A and B are shown apart, each in its own frame.
Chain A
Amino acid sequence: NAGVTQTPKFRVLKTGQSMTLLCAQDMNHEYMYWYRQDPGMGLRLIHYSVGEGTTAKGEVPDGYNVSRLKKQNFLLGLESAAPSQTSVYFCASSSLAGSPEAFFGQGTRLTVV
């Protein structure tokens, strides 16, 4: 059981480049989340989704876009990367029913130079 898998694990981008981070979960979870974590700080919610075809803004959505075309996948896009987007990105998923436990991926370390 893979749980939540993030691709890639590491990436270096030049300012202005674009990229997509992929999150895949095999637990049939309805909810999926994208967070960023900067040094000495907590996780800040970028965007989230409560089901296939739906997305919503979190605390820090500017500069990012997301899509949830399939229930198991949640994509995070950076259209024009900026150094301020250097961070560790975490994806998570949780079930609509029962425990609110969110399962996290291993993280993607992104550096924008």
Chain B
Amino acid sequence: GESVGLHLPTLSVQEGDNSIINCAYSNSASDYFIWYKQESGKGPQFIIDIRSNMDKRQGQRVTVLLNKTVKHLSLQIAATQPGDSAVYFCAENIRGGKLIFGQGTELSVKP
């Protein structure tokens, strides 16, 4: 079936440390994998995406890794800041326009 799931529901890190948020997916018919950040009371915001034919992509303080062999996606946040505290979702953009989200991981940054 089509599902995108996360390994950990919560993650607590110290300010300045690196964060790694993981995601498992099951659908292979996807063009892109995407990470979104959702702050309390707001809609999700795009962070970074990776095409299905890539295995790594870097942005500003964020890196996304894609391992198609084990159907695993991860988001790495460097030097985590209090403003990074939010819920992070992975999502799969399936060929044909469908956009499916995973359950989410709540990231808490301790000062």
Contact = CB atoms under 8 A, between A and B. Distances in A.
B97 A42 contact: no
Nearest to B30: A100
Contacts of A50: 96-97
Contact of B34 (A42, A90, A100): A100
Given A90-B44, A100-B32, A106-B43, A42 B98 contact: no
Nearest to B93: A100
Contact of A59 (B9, B32, B34, B100): B100
A27 interface: no
B24 to A, nearest CB: 13
B98 A35 contact: no
A31 B89 CA distance: 20
Contact of B99 (A40, A41, A92, A99): A92
Contacts of B2: 59
Interface string A28-51: 000101010000111111001010
B43 A44 contact: no
A42 B43 contact: no
Nearest to A94: B99
Contacts of B45: 104
8 contacts: A42-B103, A45-B99, A48-B98, A50-B96, A92-B43, A100-B93, A102-B34, A102-B99
